Amino acid sequence: MAIFIKTPKKTTFTARTKNELISKITRNHIYSVGSKKTGNFRCDYSGWVNTNGNVIRVFNLEKHRHKTAPQYKNGEYVGRKVVKEGHWVAFVYDIPLVFEGNIKQKTRNFTATIKI
């Protein structure tokens, strides 16, 4: 028996700092801890919920460090040069609260347990 779960489409955000990235992600959302009952299903959650309270926004954060390369002048080593600046990337998922399970947002990632 095969079970297929359709995952929501992910959205990507980027920013220079972690705080700037989290403020972009959580715009128009409220941090909430609670439980939502829909029919026979009960979903416990902690994370960023939209204003209607029916969708939770969870995310994974990745830190990309800066890239450097050696710098030479007239054949002599003079130090290192920053080639690419560091930045943060977030993969954001908007999950509807219509299944039985548990969703918990952590600092840089999330866990989702679905009861079948």
- What is the C-alpha radius of gyration for the chain, rounded to an integer number of angstroms? 20
Nearest to 116 by CA among 3, 9, 35, 34: 3
Q: Which residue has the higher pLDDT, 1 or 39?
A: 39
User: pTM of the entire structure?
Assistant: 0.76
Q: Is the dihedral of CA 31, 32, 33, 35 positive or negative?
A: negative
How far is 23 from 5, CA to CA, in rounded Å? Answer: 30
The pLDDT, as a whole number, for residue 98 is 77
pLDDT tens for 79-107 read 999 999 999 999 999 888 777 788 888 88
pLDDT beyond 60 at 8? yes
The model's confidence at residue 111, banded by pLDDT at 50, 70 and 90, is confident
pLDDT tens for 34-91 read 888 877 778 888 888 887 778 888 899 999 999 999 999 998 999 999 999 999 999 9
